[in-house]
Structure 1
Amino acid sequence: MTIQFRTGEYEMMGMVVKAKYEIHGNDILVTDADGPMKGVAIHYTLVNQNKLHSAFVDLVRMQ
C-alpha cells in the first residue's frame, strides 16, 4: 500500500482525504477532516527521515 502525505491532505488506495496535521517533536497526529472517518486521528512517530511508526503499521519512504 502506498500513502502520499501532502499539505492539507493525504492519498491512500486512490482516495484523496483532507487532513489536519499536528506535529510535536517526533510525534505527528494526522486527523481526517472530511469523509466517513472525519475526526479520526492516527498517531505516528518519526523514527528517522525515512520511517514512520504507528500502532498499526510502519511506513517507509519510497524513492
Structure 2
Amino acid sequence: MKYAEKPLIHMVLGTSDIHVEKKFGKSKNQILDIGVEAVNYAKTLLPDVQYSTEDASRSDFE
C-alpha cells in the first residue's frame, strides 16, 4: 500500500443466510453492525474503501 498510486481497502463480508448462520453464527443485525464497524475503521486508515457482499445472489435484497 505504501507505494500504490491509488491505495484502497476492499473488504468482503458474507451476507447470505448460509454465511450469516453457518459461517458466522450471528444474526443479520450483528453482521450488519460488523460491516459498518469494519468500513468505519477502514476509513480511518484510507479514504478509499470498497465493500462487497460475499454470496450476494443468495442474500436478501434488503
Relative to total residues, which structure has the larger strand share, 1 or 2?
1
User: Which protein has the bigger helix share?
Assistant: 2
The TM tier, using the shorter chain, reads under 0.3
Greater Rg over alpha carbons, structure: 2
TM-score (norm 2): 0.28
